[in-house]
Amino acid sequence: MSTSENETSRSRGKAPAGERIADWADGRLGIYSLAKANMRKIFPDHWSFMLGEVCMYSFIIIILTGVYLTLFFHPSMNEVEYHGSYVPLQGQLMSEAFSSTLHISFDVRGGLLIRQIHHWAALIFLAGMFVHMMRVFFTGAFRKPREINWLFGFLLFVLGMFTGFTGYSLPDDLLSGTGVRFMEGAILSVPIIGTYLSFFLFGGEFPGHDFVARFYSIHILLLPGIMLGLMVAHLILVFYHKHTQFAGPGKSEKNVVGMPLLPVYMAKAGGFFFLVFGVIAAIAAVAQINPIWAMGPYRPDQVSTGAQPDWYMGFAEGLIRFMPGWEINFWGHTLVLGVFIPLVLFPLVLAVIAVYPFIESWVTGDKREHHILDRPRNAPTRTAFGVAWVTIYMITLVGGGNDLWATHFHLSINAVTWFVRIFFFAGPVIAFILTKRICLGLQRRDHDKVLHGRETGIIKRLPHGEFIEVHEPLSQEQLHTLTAHHQYEPAEIGPTVDENGVERKVPASEKLRAKLSNAYYGEDSQIPKPTVEEYKEITSGHGHH
- Nearest-angstrom CA–CA distance, 16 and 144: 45
Does 444 bind other proteins (CB under 8 A)? Our answer is: no
Question: Could you tell me which of 326, 468, 338, 314 has the C-alpha nearest to residue 397?
Answer: 314
Does 524 bind other proteins (CB under 8 A)? Our answer is: no
CB of 4 vs other proteins, minimal distance in Å:
29
CB of 419 vs other proteins, minimal distance in Å:
14
Work out whether strand 245-246 and strand 372-373 pair parallel, antiparallel, or are unpaired: parallel
Burial profile 8-33: b = 16 or more Cβ within 10 angstroms, e = fewer? eeeeeeeeeeeeeeebeebbeeeeee
- Nearest-angstrom CA–CA distance, 499 and 111: 77
Tell which one of 83, 445, 536, 544 touches other proteins (CB under 8 A).
536
x/- site string to other proteins, residues 132 to 171, per CB under 8 A? -------------x--------------------------
Backbone angles phi and psi of 526, in degrees to 5? -155, 150
Backbone angles phi and psi of 468, in degrees to 5? -130, 155
Q: Is 29 helix (H, G, I), strand (E, B) or coil?
A: helix
Question: Could you tell me which of 182, 154, 132, 128 has the C-alpha nearest to residue 350?
Answer: 154
Tell which one of 22, 31, 42, 159 touches other proteins (CB under 8 A).
42
Give, in order, the Cα–Cα distances in Å from 100 to each of 2, 82, 111, 118, 405.
Answer: 61, 10, 11, 16, 34
* Positions in 484-513 near other proteins (CB under 8 A): 484, 486
Backbone angles phi and psi of 198, in degrees to 5? -65, -45
Tell which one of 54, 141, 161, 186 touches other proteins (CB under 8 A).
186
Does 336 bind other proteins (CB under 8 A)? Our answer is: yes
* Positions in 371-430 near other proteins (CB under 8 A): 371-372, 402-403, 413-414, 417
Does 270 bind other proteins (CB under 8 A)? Our answer is: yes
* Positions in 208-247 near other proteins (CB under 8 A): 208, 240-242
The residues that bridge with 334 in the sheet, in sequence order, are 329
Helix (H) / strand (E) containing 294: helix 292-295
- Residue number, 232 or 267, with CB nearest to other proteins: 267
Span near other proteins by CB under 8 A; candidates 268-276, 428-436, 459-467, 495-503: 268-276
- Nearest-angstrom CA–CA distance, 506 and 509: 8
Q: Is 191 helix (H, G, I), strand (E, B) or coil?
A: coil
* Positions in 291-320 near other proteins (CB under 8 A): 298-307, 320
- Residue number, 126 or 320, with CB nearest to other proteins: 320
Span near other proteins by CB under 8 A; candidates 24-32, 155-163, 224-232, 282-290: 282-290
CB atoms within 10 A of CB 536: 10
Tell which one of 227, 323, 353, 439 touches other proteins (CB under 8 A).
323
Query: Residues binding other proteins: what is the number (CB under 8 A)?
Result: 128
Tell which one of 104, 170, 339, 527 touches other proteins (CB under 8 A).
339
x/- site string to other proteins, residues 56 to 95, per CB under 8 A? -----------------------x-----x-------x--
Length of the chain counted residue by residue: 545
Does 286 bind other proteins (CB under 8 A)? Our answer is: yes
Backbone angles phi and psi of 482, in degrees to 5? -80, -15
- Nearest-angstrom CA–CA distance, 423 and 419: 6
Tell which one of 15, 232, 267, 430 touches other proteins (CB under 8 A).
267
Cis ω for the linkage preceding 145 (within 30 of 0): yes
Dihedral, CA atoms, 435, 441, 445, 446, nearest 10 degrees?
A: 50
Does 39 bind other proteins (CB under 8 A)? Our answer is: no
- Residue number, 8 or 329, with CB nearest to other proteins: 329
Tell which one of 282, 348, 411, 497 touches other proteins (CB under 8 A).
282
Does 264 bind other proteins (CB under 8 A)? Our answer is: yes
Does 365 bind other proteins (CB under 8 A)? Our answer is: no
Does 278 bind other proteins (CB under 8 A)? Our answer is: yes
CB of 180 vs other proteins, minimal distance in Å:
10
